[in-house]
Structure 1
Amino acid sequence: MAGLWRAYQRLLGAHPWKVQIVTAGSLVGVGDVISQQLLERKGLKGHSIERTVKMMGIGFCFVGPVVGGWYKILDRIIPGSGKPVALKKMLLDQVAFAPCFLGCFLSIASALNGLSGEQIWGKLKRDYKDALITNYYIWPAVQVANFYFIPLYHRLAVVQFVAIIWNSYLSWKANKS
């Protein structure tokens, strides 16, 4: 296991952006598998590989680049370290970024599921508030710790590991009828 971590560290050092995106996409996919198998209890025969691939695509093309880019911007907007800085970053993340990100995520997943604009709007009206409230139960504490203890280039990976459970929830929320 230590060897895998060292290899990951080397790759991250050599290709930080690519590795962060691949990590995010892979872990969004893991979240979907958990959603389908544990939350929805679809079993292997009922598992939608197409859905998992779509969710991974969202991870590769949206979650990884957007969250990774956001962390870089956040470090420029609020430079420094320490508890007050971590708290400020968490507040900006949760007040400005999380609501927009969540709406976009749900919209993209819905569009990839073939919903029309009107159906997407209806889904957002039905699911967005609940998803945002659930976000606020989980992410503020995670983000304070992330911004306080974790170097910038590891933040996306740390968040994505914690987010396996969150991604399971989002996958379920995004794909339920």
Structure 2
Amino acid sequence: MQRFKEVLTKYPVVRGMLSYSLIWPTSSLVQQTFEGKRWGTYDWYRCLRFSLYGGFFVAPTLYSWIRVSSAMWPQTNFRTGAIKAIVEQFSYTPAAMTCFYFIMSLLERKTIREAGQEVSKKFLPTYKVALAVWPIVATINFSLIPEKNRVPFISVCSLIWTCFLAYMKHLEHRHVDEGILMFRKAES
């Protein structure tokens, strides 16, 4: 156990990878429960895909983004946190969402063309919601949370977000179109 703690202290990205390897499939289970599934009907391969993606893609890329942004803006005040949050929304977030839909589709054994179609259908509606949520969470993360705890903090916050991503991921394309139409009517 002591060796495990030493590894987590020496390599904080591993802590994030473990967190995301557990949080992402948990979000998938929550989302599947909302779909009406129960213990005997859960899609465990879907959970595995979420675990692999969260642990081996999201955690390392998020950890890297946090390290880069902390080096660029080392202060931990509200102003700097807000700047980091804004930059994140226009740099990391679009790439992360594109990769989510694309890579998860490939893990489902969809073709590259099908993965690209999913990105084109679901990116914008998801990104609009992200713009309403993540600047606030990121500002708190960058201004109030110590750097060593930023990935775990975001991991906890992302549990709910990942439930939303799981929901969006498994919406049929026609339902995404209906959601976009409802969103446009609400804007009018």
Is TM (by shorter chain) over 0.5? yes
> Could you tell me how far 1:16 is from its partner in structure 2?
1.7
Whole-angstrom distance in 1 between the partners of 2:117 and 2:29 = 26
Amino acid at match of 2:26: V
**8 Å CA contact retained: 1:24, 1:60:** yes
Q: 1:21 matched to which residue of 2?
A: 17
**8 Å CA contact retained: 2:53, 2:104:** yes
Identify which of 150, 156, 171 aligns with 1:155.
Answer: 150
Within-5 A mapping of 1:6-85 = 12-38=8-34, 40-85=35-80
Q: 1:87 matched to which residue of 2?
A: 82
The two structures have a TM-score, normalised by structure 2, of 0.84
**8 Å CA contact retained: 1:28, 1:56:** yes
Q: Any stretches of 5+ residues in structure 1 without a counterpart?
A: 1-7
Q: Any stretches of 5+ residues in structure 2 without a counterpart?
A: 173-188
> Could you tell me how far 1:10 is from its partner in structure 2?
7.4
Percent identity of the aligned residues? 18
Amino acid at match of 2:135: P
The two structures have a TM-score, normalised by structure 1, of 0.89
Amino acid at match of 2:18: V
CA offsets 1:133-168 (integer angstroms, 9 cap, x no match): 111121111111111110112111111111111111
Whole-angstrom distance in 2 between the partners of 1:94 and 1:57 = 24
Change beyond 3 A, Cα 1:87–1:9: farther
Q: 1:123 matched to which residue of 2?
A: 118
Whole-angstrom distance in 2 between the partners of 1:9 and 1:146 = 24
**8 Å CA contact retained: 2:16, 2:155:** no
Amino acid at match of 2:22: S
Whole-angstrom distance in 1 between the partners of 2:68 and 2:118 = 30
Question: RCO (CA 8 Å, sep 6+): is it higher in 1 or 2?
Answer: 1
Whole-angstrom distance in 1 between the partners of 2:62 and 2:46 = 22
Whole-angstrom distance in 2 between the partners of 1:73 and 1:175 = 32
Amino acid at match of 1:30: T
> Could you tell me how far 1:126 is from its partner in structure 2?
1.1
CA offsets 1:9-60 (integer angstroms, 9 cap, x no match): 877434422111101121111111111112x122222201111011000011
Whole-angstrom distance in 1 between the partners of 2:69 and 2:133 = 20
**8 Å CA contact retained: 1:31, 1:167:** yes
Q: 2:184 matched to which residue of 1?
A: none
Aligned residue pairs total 169
Amino acid at match of 2:71: R
Q: 1:104 matched to which residue of 2?
A: 99
Q: Please give the root-mean-square deviation of Cα atoms over the aligned residues, in Å.
A: 1.7
Q: 1:135 matched to which residue of 2?
A: 130
